[in-house]
Amino acid sequence: MGHGKLRKFAENETFRCLLQPSAASVLVKDGSRELVLKDHPVKGHWQEQMFASPGPIVLELGCGKGDYTIELAERHPEMNFIGVDIKGARLWKGAKYATERGLGNVAFLRTRIEFIGAFFGEGEVSQIWLTFSDPQLKSENARLTSPLFLERYRRFLSPGGRVHLKTDSRFLHEYTLSVVRANNLPLLASSTDIYGSGTSNGVDWEEVTGVQTFYESMFLKLGLPITYMAFTLDGHDGPFVHPSDFDNDYWRAAEGPRRTFSHSPVKSTK
Please report the pLDDT score of residue 24 as a whole number.
87
Reply yes or no on whether 134 is catalytic. yes
Q: Please name which of 122, 174, 183 lies closest in space to residue 148, comparing C-alpha atoms.
A: 183
260 domain residue, yes or no? no
∠ CA 16-72-26, nearest 5°, is 45
Average pLDDT over residues 168-195: 95
CA–CA gap between residue 216 and residue 166 (Å, rounded): 9
Give the domain extent around 56.
3-255
Please report the pLDDT score of residue 71 as a whole number.
96
26 domain residue, yes or no? yes
∠ CA 127-179-83, nearest 5°, is 30
134 domain residue, yes or no? yes
Position 126: which residue type?
S
Of the chain, the end-to-end C-alpha distance in Å amounts to 33
262 domain residue, yes or no? no
| Average pLDDT across the chain, whole number | 90
48 domain residue, yes or no? yes
Catalytic hit among 67, 85, 134, 247:
134
Domain count, the chain: 1
235 domain residue, yes or no? yes
Please report the pLDDT score of residue 23 as a whole number.
87
CA–CA gap between residue 85 and residue 89 (Å, rounded): 10
269 domain residue, yes or no? no
CATH number at residue 29: 3.40.50.150
What pTM was estimated for this model as a whole?
A: 0.91
Please report the pLDDT score of residue 259 as a whole number.
60
177 domain residue, yes or no? yes
CA–CA gap between residue 204 and residue 115 (Å, rounded): 31
